[in-house]
A = this chain, B = another copy of it.
């Protein structure tokens, strides 16, 4: 089967258009060039059409920028000499993201509850909530205004969700969990599954500790596809405002993740661990249970955090140590063959010396 050319890739924008003058004002950039050119979207430098805006992230892209067909380029002062219409910004990455957000097509979902969705009794819907086909909204849920519950999403009983959230298809949010405003949960994420809590009995059998708490997710959090956040044993597992969590991240019961953290894909955080604010945990790293990670600490990818980390520390390794120590030790690790040869050489020299001494003594 052929794919028709009408299918969207880049170049498929929403219906919004702006003049460069309007755009500059909206994104807080300083326009150098004609204000009345009308633009319909954003695109990479080499793909942008004359009605699209692009950006230059680094002066090394200046040659590419010079030949781009884009209507205007978002740049910082280092590129202000480019003889093109420019949108000057101190932070062109951020300004470009803001421009892209203006043009981005919101998910299409008509307000109201679709006929094929299931809704339990006692639900309170805010204005303009949309519940897609085959979604499940359990009894006594409260859903804030303009929130989208996409097709096939599942909310258990008593779930509370704030305003302007996007709950994508096939998300599961289980009983009594609470979600703030402007939260995005990507498909396949599971929020409120049982924590992994067992006690061994006399026979070494694992007796399940009932997981009776909830998950609370605060405003402006994003949760990645197929991530899991377990409910607390008692009390709450808590993701605080502004934190962004990538795909397939595992957050165990009673963990607290502070504000504005980044947890990259396939990270795992074990039970009752506490992260401060602005913490960054890179991909595939694991953090043991019951440790504390201070504000603005950062942990490199594929590390294993076994102990608490002070604020502002950068860590790496299995187990994680301060990154400078890790680099020094790792440098020596790679010199091991050299050490081995030096040891052998030294041992020979010492032997020779001993024999020579022996000889001298024998004189």
Interface residues of A (CB under 8 A from B): 1, 3-4, 7-10, 12, 42-44, 47, 91, 93-94, 96-98, 100-101, 103-105, 107-108, 114, 116, 118, 126, 133-134, 136, 138-139, 142, 144-145, 151-152, 154, 156-158, 160, 162-163, 168-170, 172, 174-176, 178, 181, 184, 186-188, 190, 193-194, 196-202, 204-210, 212-214, 220, 222, 224-226, 228, 230, 234-236, 242, 244, 246-248, 250, 252, 260, 262, 264-266, 268, 270, 278, 283-284, 286, 288, 301-302, 304, 318, 321, 328-329, 332-337, 339-340, 342-343, 346-347, 349-350, 353-354, 356-357, 360-361
Contact = CB atoms under 8 A, between A and B. Distances in A.
A69 to B, nearest CB: 15
Contacts of A204: 260, 278
Contacts of A214: 8-9
Given A7-B158, A225-B193, A288-B301, A172 B169 contact: yes
Contacts of A139: 108
A352 to B, nearest CB: 8
A260 B333 CA distance: 35
Contacts of A178: 3, 7
A235 B10 CA distance: 5
10 contacts: A3-B178, A7-B160, A104-B212, A116-B118, A118-B151, A190-B247, A206-B260, A284-B304, A329-B334, A346-B346
A224 B304 contact: no
B336 A329 contact: yes
B100 A190 contact: no
Given A144-B1, A152-B136, A346-B346, A225 B224 contact: no
A244 B198 contact: yes
Contact of A350 (B114, B302, B349): B349
Given A104-B210, A158-B7, A250 B266 contact: yes
Given A194-B184, A212-B104, A176 B12 contact: yes
A43 B235 CA distance: 9
A329 B337 contact: yes
A207 B98 contact: yes
Contacts of A360: 357, 360
